[in-house]
A = this chain, B = another copy of it.
Amino acid sequence: MELTAVIVAVTTGEPRILTVDDGKALPSGPFELGHRSLQIGLRSWVERQTHHPLGYLEQLYTFADRDRVQQGGQGRAISISYLALTRENSGSGAHQPQWRGWYRYFPWEDWRSGTPSLIEGAVAPQLRAWTRAAADPAARSERKRRVELAFGFSGQRWNEDLVLQRYELLYEAGLIPEAGHRKAVEPVVPGQPMVHDHRRILATGIARLRAKIKYRPVFFELMPKSFTLLQLQRLVEALAGQRLHKQNFRRLIEQQRLVEETGEVCTDTGGRPAKLVRFRRDVMLEREIAGSKLPLSRSA
């Protein structure tokens, strides 16, 4: 049994993850520690690695497929993955794990400066070729539908949450080196590979985080104690891979009363100094009871 962790921090506007083996793997290992629960063991392990208190920890998924061969060969290898949010702290030393920007692994996921050029340059044509290569018309239209849905070709908006679906489509289409397709000259989509299914686990983590920030303000775990609203916006944009509307972002944060002013200002913003704010920890919990999208009946 093995744990794998997607440990996220955002530094200088870039979302990064903690990696080992020169960026080719996520930190993982057999965590047969003496702790009462996996969660607690993982938490202390991550805190030793990052020298930062771990704000948020969440289980992602458990893989236990037969392809995952266990060392020793008896039974299935089980891999439990976690998502953790923290802040980067340059742990020195040669054998320290390293922080890497996550868009290096998924360059097609960063839409902050508009549509990434590799979408039209590499992804779209190769996915279209894969679509055409389907065996029968039914499979072809099914592929077409999935591609259009996940990548927003044909007009739909790009949905930043579908990270995993997009990765799996590319994988299925043989455009991901990890798929290990036979053809030697197989063209692949840019993006650094990882060992085993680590890039898939990372995609799961990014997708989960992107979905989560919409209904729970977990992003505060990634911020310093005090910050400006623009810094917060840049962080959310970094995670979502999308530009946000500045005025509306402020309104959202303010009307939810997520922050309070510290009284100080930050003058190194270039223009008018911005007020520094801090996160109101107490609302984190209030937010929990938020809304439902069911048409509830209060009276009857």
Please report A residues at the B interface, Cβ cutoff 8 Å. Answer: 1, 32, 35-38, 59, 61-62, 64-67, 75-76, 78, 80, 145, 149, 152, 156-157, 159-162, 213-215, 236, 240, 242-246, 248-249, 251-252, 285-286, 288-290, 292-297, 300
Contact = CB atoms under 8 A, between A and B. Distances in A.
Contacts of A76: 1, 32
B64 A300 contact: no
Contacts of A246: 297
B156 A289 contact: yes
Number of copies of this chain that the complex holds? 2
A294 B145 contact: no
B285 A145 contact: yes
Given A289-B157, A293-B214, A62 B62 contact: yes
Contact of A59 (B61, B78, B160, B213): B61
A252 B297 contact: no
Nearest to A243: B297
A66 to B, nearest CB: 5
Nearest to A293: B214
A232 to B, nearest CB: 12
Contacts of A67: 36
A267 B160 CA distance: 46
A215 B268 CA distance: 42
Contacts of A75: 1, 32
Interface core residue of A66, A215, A252, A286 (most chain B CB under 10 Å) = A66
Given A294-B213, A300-B243, A62 B80 contact: yes
B244 A294 contact: yes
Contacts of A296: 242-245
B80 A64 contact: yes
Contact of A245 (B1, B36, B295): B295
A297 B289 CA distance: 27
Nearest to A289: B159
29 contacts: A1-B75, A1-B76, A32-B75, A36-B67, A37-B65, A37-B66, A38-B64, A38-B65, A59-B62, A64-B80, A145-B285, A149-B288, A152-B289, A157-B289, A159-B289, A159-B292, A162-B289, A214-B292, A214-B293, A215-B293, A236-B294, A240-B292, A240-B294, A242-B296, A242-B297, A243-B300, A244-B294, A249-B294, A251-B295
